[in-house]
Structure 1
């Protein structure tokens, strides 16, 4: 069982433990603060900043409850916080093993909501999600960068060996895990640089990976085109690299984007993805700042990242309500993951 350290709960969520998991829970927040898969330090502090910034929403009442004005619901009902994974003394592969173990230990139907951490943490989450599945999984990646291995002849030769996992090639590893055509990349820069010898093969390479909806794509402005490109009736894992936002709205990251989405556009597009699909996993990655940074822009960036995570958790709450009412999400059947008995989970207790 991976070691999780209790931390400031996100938005005051009830705290829980993997070996004593409460009933009635549909989402579990997990901190995975690691920059071992990045050339830039700071992303190991992502969970700390988002957790701390979320306290601004719960300072007032003695027993605070977040309320969603738009959807008239409590967006965090049925969610818990498991704390932060302890990566002390671990290397990259060991930290990924801890993430994979934590996600795999969740009871069936509980959606892991992982706060990173650099983008390499997406791979162990997806590995855990696909391990016990009978149905396909799509990954929808919001990012300014492809994070695909497009060097050393990879575009021209599908059998090119992958370099070891890093945040710059993580989505190639993810694509290998979920299968060709199931990666949808949203908000990426319209241009990428490759060796001249590989350029003729790039179109076919990208088609094999899946779909790329770059900043200049018509789909990002047309809801119907976007829905068609993303698809519906699918189980999806959302990977949100915070650098998909324009640097005016998000400079607290290793690679701020000179051109990027606005927060409002990101929230709108997230709604479109989740309106017709079932969310089974989430990570928000690449928020990066020095631990002691307290300047106004960093605090503002952290608060903006909190809003994005809270927005997705609210959509999860709606998904849970629909399933409770007998609608398992458009075109979907209940989770195909193994039962508690098959996975050896401990008996559940009631949520306080």
Structure 2
């Protein structure tokens, strides 16, 4: 397991070797930038962009400590940066296995906080967590797409899987988690399947977990959304940035013509974590050419970095609640 620490530290965090993370570390930021699971290039530059724009959080301080104004606490207390995954692997299978081993090598109580990369990044991170934990956990997926395998009659044959790709990654994640452990939030309200498999789709989706489309009333009702999420559980959060409306996030493979606002997404994350315990997260599918410095792309990157910082602050805030991970 090796990482590249020649990159910009996220928000000026101290670098640490993933094999010897300091005692007391709460969470570890890691970049896993690849687009091998997508037909679109650009996601491999996600860690570069989010790391670069994160300088805005620390540029004015000689020794910076970022404070969450909502709680008055340090947003990154106990957090280190373990760099970007460095591997000679060039196939999707090889990179996913390297990612799984990378996360598995972190100390058990250190949360993996991953900057992707295309959405296939989620599978090896979740797999590594599931293998080392005794408590079950739920994945909350904020996404414009289901990323479930529902083509070619798959709802009627749920055990059949194509190799992992960004369009079916959550089917593979569900296989790891077990039935009912996936909550999909902000997805497009309609899905298209083959006519002869349509009757099987509702049961297939129920077996996966629950879907809360962008048009669902729970999106705007805090109490109802908290009921959907539940209380007292462990959750992993995966944010595909195309869940945001294209007006706020066009630097992604499939911008959403109708998506969540950034403020709504941050609020839903707060509601999901208010009564539950975060065990890790990823922010994926920021995609742009590495040389792109257009104002829109940089603004998109800043919004993506804010989502990442928001979750990172939750990881630090909940440090005292994690004694048995």
* Aligned-partner Cα distance in 1 for 2:193–2:202: 12
- Output the CA distance in 1 between the equivalents of 2:91 and 2:157: 30
**2:108 and 2:132 in contact (8 A); partners too:** no
CA displacement, residues 283-316 of structure 1 (integer Å, 9 cap, x when unaligned): 0000000010000000000001111111111111
5+ unaligned residues in a row in structure 2: which ranges?
A: none
Aligned residues: 324
Cross-structure match for 1:53: 53
Which stretches in structure 1 are left out of the alignment for 5+ residues?
A: 337-352
For 1:99-248, what aligned pairs fall within 5 Å after superposition?
Answer: 99-159=99-159, 161-248=160-247
Question: Where does residue 349 of structure 1 map in the other structure?
Answer: none
Partner of 2:307: 308
Normalized against structure 1, the TM-score is what?
0.90
Contact map agreement 1:237 1:282 (CA 8 A) in 2? yes
Alignment of 1:64-75 (within 5 A): 64-75=64-75
**1:56 shift after superposition:** 1.6
Residue 89 of structure 1, CA deviation:
4.3
Report SS of the residue matched to 1:300: helix
Q: 1:24 maps to what in 2?
A: 24
Give the secondary-structure state (helix, strand or coil) at the position aligned to 1:305: helix
User: CA deviation digits over 1:35-56, x for unaligned, max 9?
Assistant: 0000100000000000000012
The Cα RMSD (Å) is 1.0
**Most deviating of 197-206 and 39-48:** 197-206
The 5-angstrom pairing of residues 242-321 of structure 1 reads 242-320=241-319
1:76 aligns with 2:73: no
Residue 40 of structure 2 corresponds to: 40
Corresponding residue SS for 1:219: helix
2:324 corresponds to which residue? 335
Number of the residue aligned with 1:340:
none
Of 125-134 and 169-178, more deviation after overlay is shown by 125-134
Give me the whole-angstrom Cα distance separating, in 1, the residues matched to 2:19 and 2:310. 28
Give 1:19 shift: 2.3
| Deviation, structure 1 residue 20 | 2.2
**Which range moved further: 265-274 or 89-98?**
89-98
1:34 touches 1:87 (CA, 8 Å); kept in 2?
Answer: no
Contact 2:153 2:193 in 1 (8 A): no
Distance in 2 separating the partners of 1:37 and 1:99: 13
SS at 1:84 equivalent: strand
How many angstroms apart in 1 are the aligned matches of 2:266 and 2:175? Answer: 28
CA distance in 2, matches of 1:20, 1:205: 43
Residue 89 of structure 2 contacts residue 95 of structure 2 at CA under 8 Å; is this kept in 1? no
Alpha-carbon distance between aligned partners in 2 of 1:250 and 1:19, rounded to the nearest angstrom: 35
Q: Deviations over 1:196-245 (max 9, x none)?
A: 11111111111111000001111111111111111111111100001100
Contact residue 187 and residue 213 of structure 1 kept, 8 A: yes
Residue matched to 1:93: 93
Q: CA deviation at 1:90?
A: 2.3
Shift of 1:87: 3.5
